């Protein structure tokens, strides 16, 4: 899949799934604005893209701060002249605790990053994409949008929220040359998943594919949805989970 001449923005591009998506787009010829709150991870990722001959620009931003998300979109348009593709991927897991023991601060942080961050992303990306003649957005949810994750009510609520937000936004803009879809990863080998420790290994045993997934295996599905090949796909959810939701 080629993305020559396309301008893209990926949040949470410093590590894991976001880094794999941004690399894939840049390798496919897109100009990519890589957004992340971790400056060092972002710098390493962008340097790797440059070494591979791709075009990527780093922008440090915290996605629950809407002004920073707005500025990221403005920078993409200023540097690339347009915006065609956006991936709202930045997300956090929060602390594990039964609902009644969850701290208010943790609840608000998870919802702010995982749900409000996606809303702010689309709020500012959509006008820029409309002004560029149309494009595609992919939002990253989780297999835990389909099931309640024990000890992570905030995470499950945020990811189910991403799915609803995506469906409604897709309906709003389907007639205006913007497609919007959700991708739901299963257990993918990234810093976020590894922070789950033994839990990750236990879950891996339940996966029909017999292993946890790689970030690149999510990135290729995202790339398909961003490509013109997926021209009639909108308001959909794609599971990339090795069959765990069988
Ligand atoms: N890895 C998995 O098993 C898995 C499964 C399902 C869903 N997901 C989702 O995929 C997405 C990516 O996860 P990952 O596993 O690659 O995580 P990761 O922690 O490896 O990478 C996420 C990146 O997002 C950045 N980030 C976090 N909060 C941010 C913020 N407020 N503003 C800007 N950047 C921020 C981090 O610094 C990091 O670089 C997340 O939305 C996550 O919920 C991951």
Q: Distance from the CA of 227 to the center of ligand 1, in angstroms?
A: 22
pTM for this one? 0.98
Report d(CA 195, CA 115) in Å as an integer.
Answer: 21
Pairing of the two strands 31-36 and 85-88: unpaired
Boundaries of every domain in the chain: 7-187+214-238
Task: For the chain, 246 residues long, give each residue's pLDDT as a single digit of tens.
Answer: 899 999 999 999 999 999 999 999 999 999 999 999 999 999 999 999 999 999 999 999 999 999 999 999 999 999 999 999 999 999 999 999 999 999 999 999 999 999 999 999 999 999 999 999 999 999 999 999 999 999 999 999 999 999 999 999 999 999 999 999 999 999 999 988 877 655 667 778 899 999 999 999 999 999 999 999 999 999 999 999 999 988
Q: Tell me the catalytic residues.
A: 155
Output Rg (C-alpha) for the chain, integer angstroms. 17
Q: Burial level of 197, CB count in 10 A (0-12/13-18/19+)? A: exposed
Is there an atom of ligand 1 within 6 Å of 58 CB?
no
Q: Which CATH class is domain 7-187+214-238?
A: alpha beta
State the pLDDT at residue 188: 95
Say how far apart CA 38 and CA 15 lie, in whole Å.
9
Pairing of β 31-36 and β 55-60: parallel
Confirm or reject: Cβ of 234 under 6 Å from ligand 1. Answer: no
Largest CA distance in the chain: 50
């Amino acid at each position: 899949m080629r993305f020559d001449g396309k301008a893209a923005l990926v949040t949470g591009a410093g590590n894991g799934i976001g880094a794999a998506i941004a690399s894939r787009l840049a390798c496919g010829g897109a100009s990519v604005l890589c957004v992340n709150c971790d400056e060092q991870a972002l710098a390493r990722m962008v340097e790797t893209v440059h070494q591979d001959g791709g075009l990527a620009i780093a922008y440090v931003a915290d996605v629950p701060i809407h002004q920073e998300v707005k500025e990221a979109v403005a920078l993409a348009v200023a540097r690339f002249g347009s915006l065609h593709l956006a991936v709202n991927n930045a997300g956090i897991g929060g602390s594990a605790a039964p609902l009644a023991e969850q701290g208010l601060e943790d609840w608000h942080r998870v919802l702010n990053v995982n749900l409000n961050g996606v809303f702010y992303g689309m709020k500012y990306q959509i006008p820029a994409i409309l002004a560029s003649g149309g494009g595609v957005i992919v939002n990253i949810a989780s297999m835990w949008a389909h099931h309640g994750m024990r000890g992570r009510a905030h995470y499950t609520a945020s990811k189910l929220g991403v799915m609803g937000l995506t469906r409604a936004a897709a309906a709003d803009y389907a007639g205006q040359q913007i497609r919007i879809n959700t991708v739901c990863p299963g257990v993918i080998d990234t810093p976020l998943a590894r922070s789950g420790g033994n839990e990750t290994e236990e879950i891996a045993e339940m996966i029909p594919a017999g292993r946890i997934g790689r970030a690149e295996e999510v990135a290729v599905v995202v790339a398909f949805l961003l490509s013109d090949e997926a021209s009639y796909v909108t308001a959909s959810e794609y599971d990339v989970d090795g069959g765990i939701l069988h």
